[in-house]
Amino acid sequence: MHIVLLTAIAMVAFAANSVLARLALSSGSIDALSYTGIRLASGALLLFAMVQFSRRNGSLRPLGGSWAGAAALFSYAIAFSVAYLMVGAGMGALILFASVQMSMLGWAIAKGDRPGALEWLGIGLAIAALAYLVFPGLTAPIPLGALLMAIAGAAWAAYSLIGRGSKSPLIDTAGNFIRCLPLALLLLALGLAAATPSAPGILYAVLSGAIASGLGYAVWYLALPRLFRITASTVQLTVPAIAALGGVLLLAEPITLRLALASAGILGGVALALFAAERRKR
């Protein structure tokens, strides 16, 4: 499958995660611990089934992925869910994706992959457009919430960088989720001890875990080895704009001039950065 299509599918999956988390956590239909536990557990179960059904002789496949990948995945998932309770959606998106961008950029530069002037311009334009998109909802965040969202971004950056070495995306993604399963079940038990989630909350968590996370992350791991580090970080700046469009289509949120301008700025900045990176690598 073409790398552009794979990357686009992954970005839509990431945006779906944001929309599902907004639906579940902001409505109070499920608590953060139960949401994270169900999300990780459902992803692990679906991916395990897919990996095993792909075996013709019926034998169990060896566990793929790594403990480092699982640690990054779990850290991202729990930090994101808890931070979402303390940080508004706009500020959360800004902190999360700025953290992802800075973490992956820093690693790329440390490895000698330095962006050119046009790439910096494109990245700067995309970040500025993202800030413009979320600006109306920005308020000073609770420090702990901001810290957790920044940690979530750094953890996701680590998970993405680990994925660049994946030779078997589906098996590796399944292995990472399965390694998270004991802690996922612990989170679920703690959440259920405090409150009982509603059916919609459980459904949102399952959709997020099995489809948007499980399958979406496998597609991302399939695309990552063919993306430059800087490219992999930059394309993720499109996620807030896609999530905002999802809010328009699924949540009946209004289409505004700010959304249109910001989306154009984000996509234009990302396109400029990718074009410049492609020219630099030739």
Structure tokens at 176: 């990472």
Compute the distance between CA of residue 94 and CA of residue 147 in angstroms, rounded to an integer.
13
Lowest mean per-residue pLDDT among 2-11, 50-59, 101-110, 249-258: 50-59
Measured N-to-C along each axis, helices 239-250 and 257-281 cross at an angle, to the nearest 10 degrees, of 150
| Contact predicate 11/235, CB 8 Å | yes
Most confident of 116-125, 140-149, 190-199, 229-238: 190-199
Whether the pLDDT of residue 1 is over 80: the answer is no
Task: Calculate the average pLDDT of the chain.
Answer: 87
Compute the distance between CA of residue 241 and CA of residue 184 in angstroms, rounded to an integer.
30
Confidence bin at 227 (pLDDT 50/70/90): confident
| Contact predicate 251/198, CB 8 Å | no
pTM exceeds 0.75: yes
Helix (H, G, I), strand (E, B) or coil at 107: helix
Whether the pLDDT of residue 2 is over 90: the answer is no
DSSP symbols for 65-88: S-HHHHHHHHHHHHHHHHHHTTS-
Confidence bin at 192 (pLDDT 50/70/90): very high
Compute the distance between CA of residue 30 and CA of residue 25 in angstroms, rounded to an integer.
6
Whether the pLDDT of residue 258 is over 90: the answer is no
Burial of residue 121 (number of CB atoms within 10 Å: 0-12, 13-18, 19+): middle
Compute the distance between CA of residue 149 and CA of residue 24 in angstroms, rounded to an integer.
18
68 or 94: which leads in pLDDT: 68
pLDDT above 90: percentage of residues in the chain: 41
Whether the pLDDT of residue 133 is over 90: the answer is no
